[in-house]
Amino acid sequence: MTFATPADNSSGSNLHALPRLWLLRHGETEWSKSGQYTGLTDLPLTAKGEQQAIDAAPKLADLDFGLVLTSPLVRARRTAELAGYPDAEVTEDAHEWDYGDYEGRRSADIRTEDPGYLIWSQGVPNGETIDDVAARADRIVSRVKNGGIANVLLVAHGHFLRILAARWLELPPTEGKHFLLGTAAVCSLGWDKRTPAIEHWSL
């Protein structure tokens, strides 16, 4: 999928009008703490995860978001609420990778059966393909890049946001493997002049 580049006249002031997509990963859950794949299982935040969401708020407080989006899963919606965005728009496109048969399993345990296993190249049995996830990410990226809103916030999930970052950069979704993202991390996707770029990662 090719994304339109927002128009600008290459002046410094107008470049600031290009849309930026801010990312907030949800806070800690029991499964994120243990390293288990958590796709559509709707786990709540731990007490630490709730505090992480509260602590993320000051990192975003000076920004005026014209649109705030969240995954429908409770761990993301609660993170949005605690970070100061209780009225975030829920989008089904932002849910985590459906891990199929690997839901609730740890990659370290899967590698005891398949030592070479890597989700980015081998995917998951009976779940979404990485291209399925990328297609959902592309719809959000297209909405932001072509929506005319200066700052958009998306509250979602680790693998999904890493794939979305790759797609913002117009890279294959597998390149998300290079972007580590901890719980409640804040990032921003923007521009180097007219080239999509990562402006901040894991603030």
Known catalytic residues are: 26, 96
Asked if 152 contacts 21 with a C-beta cutoff of 8 angstroms, the reply is yes
Strands 89-90 and 67-70: parallel
Distance CA 39, CA 41 (A): 6
Buried b (16+ CB within 10 A) or exposed e, 82-115: bbbbeebeebebbbbbbbbebbeeeeeebeeeee
Segment (H or E) for 138: helix 130-145
The residues facing 153 across adjacent strands are 22, 68
